[in-house]
Amino acid sequence: MAEEEKAYEKSSIEMFDRLCITPEFFERSQQELMNDPYVSMELFNMGISMEQPSSKPPEELTKDRTVSLVKESNTFAFDLFKKEYMDQMRYDPMIMPVLISAIAHDWVFKNHGFNEEQFKAALFEHKIYEDPEVAMHMQQKQMELLSLSGGFNPMMMGMPPMGGMGGGPGGLPGFI
C-alpha cells in the first residue's frame, strides 16, 4: 500500500508541476467545485456514462416505457429527497445525485421488477440521457431542488440561467 501511495504522490506532484499549480491550489479549487451542485451533478452523470452495462435490456423495456419509468422514478426520488434529505444537501451536496439515483433504481425494482443492471441497459440502449423529454423533466426537478435549498442563484454561481453545465435548453442529463 505504501508503494501505491508513493506512486500516487509522485504522479500528483508531476501533474501539478506541469500544470504550474500548487497542491494547495488544487485542493482549494476541488473543494469549491465540489460544493457547486451543477459541477457535482455533471461529474456524477459523467460517472454514470462510464458504467455502461454489457447486457441487453429486457424486451419489455421499450424506449417509451423506459422514458416513463425514468420520469416516474425520478419524480418519486426527488419528492422523497425533498421530504427526508433536504437538510443534508447543505452539509454534503454530493449526496443529492447519488441518493436520488439509488432511490430511483430501488423504486423501479420494487414497483416494476427490473434490477439496476437491466434498467441501466435500457437507459443506454435507448440513449435516454439524450432524450429531450427526460432532460427537460430532470432539469425542472433539479432547479426545483436547488431553489428549495437556497442554493439556486445562477448569477452567483457563474452559470447561465438555463442549461447549467449541459449548456442550452434541456441542460443537465438525468440522474439515472
Percent of the chain surpassing pLDDT 90: 25
Banded model confidence at residue 147, pLDDT cuts 50, 70, 90: confident
Considering the entire predicted model, what is its pTM?
Answer: 0.60
Residue 143 cell numbers, joined: 432547479
8 Å CB contact between 59 and 126? no
Banded model confidence at residue 5, pLDDT cuts 50, 70, 90: confident
Residue 113 cell numbers, joined: 421488477
Based on its alpha-carbon atoms, the radius of gyration of the chain, rounded to whole angstroms, reads 18
Ranking 47-51, 76-80, 142-146 by mean pLDDT, the lowest is: 47-51
pLDDT tens-place string over residues 115-130: 999 999 999 899 887 8
For residue 67, what are the CA distances in angstroms to 10, 94, 122, 145, 148?
Answer: 46, 25, 10, 21, 26
